[in-house]
Amino acid sequence: MSMEITIGRDAATSHLKISGGGKTVMQGEQGSVPVSVSRQHCMISVADDGKMTLRNVQTGNWTFVNGTAVEIKRINRGDKIELGADKYALSWEKLEEILPKVADIRPLKKVWDEYENGTFNLQVSERRFNSLRGFTPIITIGAMLLGIFTGRDNPWLWPLYGAAIVLSIGFFLLSMKKVKEVPTKQKEMRKKLQDEYVCPCCHHFFGFTDYSILSQNDACPHCKTRFEK
């Protein structure tokens, strides 16, 4: 991802020529760049982590960063950069056309956490439901044992059978409802993840990769946009 950007006055047209990463852009009108800006005036080195360092190609060149003359200096987006004794201003708008793209993926952590928590809550809900449903056979078995050991005249016998029947019907109806609700909820969560868990630049879906793993990458594997994280 590291690259070198060369900046200088174009010999044929006296535009400001900005070249790097296989791209070249021109700044200004033809003949607008003063001769105090040399043909290879300065370079900007962009490291893998996105940090930028400006340096003069020759010691006799004049370059100003935020009003101060420099030979080599770490720069940030938005710094005022002027070239030559005439202080010709470098346009960040033009420079951004050359610089590697940067995408802030930190909001994707919330998207992944919501999906992960939603999936976990569905699983917990299913297990709780199955656990509660397990009480129905326990009540039935209890009623049978009660009838065996105390006789059919026990006043608790038929209420227990009745409770078991009511619970069986209730859990059956809830099961039928969950058969529709759970897959629908899972589909909605997957659709939301596929729509939102994407590269901010190329909008390619990152798949079901945990954010902690995704954030270990330096750039999007599809469009190579560098990640800010």
What confidence score (pLDDT) does residue 100 get? 81
How far from the centroid of its chain's Cα atoms is residue 214's Cα?
A: 8
What's the N-to-C CA distance of the chain in angstroms?
16
What confidence score (pLDDT) does residue 1 get? 52
3 touches 46 (CB < 8 A): yes
197 touches 111 (CB < 8 A): yes
Sheet harboring 42-46: ordered strands across?
23-27, 16-20, 3-9, 42-46, 52-56, 72-75
What confidence score (pLDDT) does residue 146 get? 55
Which residue ranges in the chain fall short of pLDDT 50? none
Pairing outcome for strands 68-69 and 63-65: antiparallel
Tokens of 146: 């009660």
What confidence score (pLDDT) does residue 3 get? 86
| Single-letter residue type at 59 | T
CATH 2.60.200.20 occupies which residues in the chain? 3-100
DSSP 60-80: T--EEETTEE-SEEEE-TT--
Among 32, 21, 20, residue whose Cα is nearest residue 84? 32
d(CA 213, CA 221): 13
What confidence score (pLDDT) does residue 174 get? 73
CATH no. for 3-100? 2.60.200.20
What confidence score (pLDDT) does residue 68 get? 97
Q: Indicate the DSSP class of residue 56.
A: E
CA distances from 157 to 119, 139, 165, 171 (A): 41, 10, 13, 21
